[in-house]
Structure 1
Amino acid sequence: VSNWWGWGICALLSLKHGKNLLSDKDMEKRLIKAIVAAGSVDGCTRKNAPTVDRLPMSVHLDILKKVKTALEEEQRLC
C-alpha cells in the first residue's frame, strides 16, 4: 500500500524536524471520503469505495495508528 510508504517517509521527516507531521485519523477519513466523492477508485478493486487497495478503512487507519505510535516512541528516545 503506497500510502503506508508515504506515512513512513513522513514519520522520518517528523523525527528530522522534531515535530509530528503525520495526519490524524479524522483527517485521513476526510481525505479518503473526499477523493471517493471526487470519483477515485480503489487501486485493486477498481471500485469507487472508501477502501485502500482492497483493505477496509479500519485496517488502513490501524496502520496509521501503529506508525504514529512508533514515531512517538522514537521521539521519546531522542
Structure 2
Amino acid sequence: MAYGDSVSGVSAEFREFRYKESMLRVRKAVDVIHVSKNRVLILFPLTKTPVLKSLTAKRITLVTPDGRDLVKEWRE
C-alpha cells in the first residue's frame, strides 16, 4: 500500500464529469498508480489523457486481473 505502487491490467469503473452531465466509464485494461492519500492516477493505453480520481468517490471500482480490490487496499 505504498505510494507509487503501479498495477497494470486493472478493470476500472468510475464516473467522469463533463459540462452539466456525468458519465459512467468502464475500462477493462488500464494502468493504475497510487499517487497520494486516497488518490489514484488512471492511465489509459492509447490516446486519452490520464485521470486523477479519489478512492472515496461514490462510484469507483478498481479490480486487478487476479481479483484483488484496489479501492479496499489503498483507501485510508
Q: Shorter-chain TM-score category?
A: under 0.3
Q: Say which structure is richer in helix.
A: 1
TM-score normalised by the chain length of structure 1: 0.23
Q: Say which structure is richer in strand.
A: 2
Select the structure of larger CA radius of gyration. 1
